[in-house]
Structure 1
Amino acid sequence: MALPDLDSSVGHSFGLEVDGITIKSITEVSGLKMEQDVIELKQNGPDGKYMIKKLPGRWKSGEVTLTRPLTSDQSFEKWVKDSQFGKMSDVRKGGAVIVYDYEGNAVKRYKLTAAWPKSLEIGSLKAGDTSVLTEKLVVTYERLEVE
């Protein structure tokens, strides 16, 4: 059953798909951004007046931060470790950030090109704290496209 238009923007959960493997336990995604340079063309118009025209330039690369509860899954750690050892031919991957609805159906996909992990941060460790431990993976990418 399709969601009504007003409910279609609700992101119930998120996933990261890389090399055909989907990690569905992502709880927060931030930094998804499509951006390009702006080129200013300065010229005189037909009437001789000075004007500035703005033109689209090159695409900019970006970074996305993915947060998930700490689990026994080692995929984030392995990906970061491979990048630290310079195995970039193995590390640069195509993938997608996926937004799921309440029924687990993919609502939207954000395709990442030549993505690789920049950093992995473990949440604060406090004795006696009752909050969920998290890990944040920052992934840099060369291009973002909406599918």
Structure 2
Amino acid sequence: MALPEFDSSVGHSFGLEFDGIQIKSITEVNGLKMEQDVIEYKSNTAADGKYAIKKLPGRWKAGEVTLTRPLTDDNSFDKWIKDSQLGKMADVRKGGAIVVYDYEGSAVKRYKVTNAWPKSLEINTLKAGDTSVLTEKLVLTYERLEVDSA
């Protein structure tokens, strides 16, 4: 469902799609960022000889994003991490998308990542008697991020 004109989206829920695998229980996405270098071109103008600086787009920078989800029996993160630790990079580098869903479960926006692979997996603090939800944080490193409409 498309958003009405000038309405903004509520970060209701997020998901991860890689190679046909969908993980919809992502509760937090942190660090999603597109960035590129800036090249400064310095010259003197021909007409009056004044110094001029022009800024040009440079190379895209690689990035990292942290995904948090409740701890479940789904082992897709675990297998992905294990394969990267074993150096199976041909299998580990994946293309996919981080998807933002609206309150009806329809995709609002996709952030496509290229050659993403897991850098780390962290389980939150285990504490006896604690009643908070256990979560796992997966840090993905990627070579490129593009915004794609849903």
Instruction: Give the TM-score normalised by structure 2.
Output: 0.93
Paired residues of 1:8 and 1:107 also in contact (CA < 8 A): no
SS of residue matched to 2:10: coil
| Number of the residue aligned with 1:18 | 18
Paired residues of 2:2 and 2:108 also in contact (CA < 8 A): no
Q: Render the CA deviation track for 1:36-94: whole Å, top value 9, x for unaligned.
A: 00001111112111122111000111111100000010000100000000000000000
| Number of the residue aligned with 1:124 | 125
1:33 pairs with 2:69: no
Deviation at 1:7, TM superposition (A): 5.0
| Number of the residue aligned with 2:109 | 108
Could you tell me which amino acid in structure 2 is paired with residue 16 of structure 1? L
Paired residues of 1:65 and 1:139 also in contact (CA < 8 A): yes
| Number of the residue aligned with 1:77 | 78
Distance change (3 Å), C-alpha of 1:25 and 1:40: same
Instruction: Give the TM-score normalised by structure 1.
Output: 0.95
Distance change (3 Å), C-alpha of 1:7 and 1:131: farther
Paired residues of 1:18 and 1:95 also in contact (CA < 8 A): yes
Q: Render the CA deviation track for 1:86-117: whole Å, top value 9, x for unaligned.
A: 00000000000000011110000001111000
SS of residue matched to 2:127: coil
SS of residue matched to 2:115: strand
Deviation at 1:4, TM superposition (A): 3.8
Q: Measure, in 2, the Cα distance between the counterparts of 1:29 and 1:143.
A: 17
> How many residue pairs get matched?
147
* TM-align CA RMSD: 1.3
1:56 pairs with 2:57: yes
Could you tell me which amino acid in structure 1 is paired with residue 55 of structure 2? K
Deviation at 1:8, TM superposition (A): 3.9
Q: Measure, in 2, the Cα distance between the counterparts of 1:38 and 1:133.
A: 41
| Number of the residue aligned with 1:134 | 135
Q: Measure, in 1, the Cα distance between the counterparts of 2:44 and 2:57.
A: 20
Q: Render the CA deviation track for 1:10-40: whole Å, top value 9, x for unaligned.
A: 1210000011110000000011111100001
Identity across matched positions, percent: 82
Distance change (3 Å), C-alpha of 1:106 and 1:96: same
SS of residue matched to 1:82: helix
Deviates more, 1:1-10 or 1:85-94: 1-10
Q: Measure, in 1, the Cα distance between the counterparts of 2:103 and 2:64.
A: 27
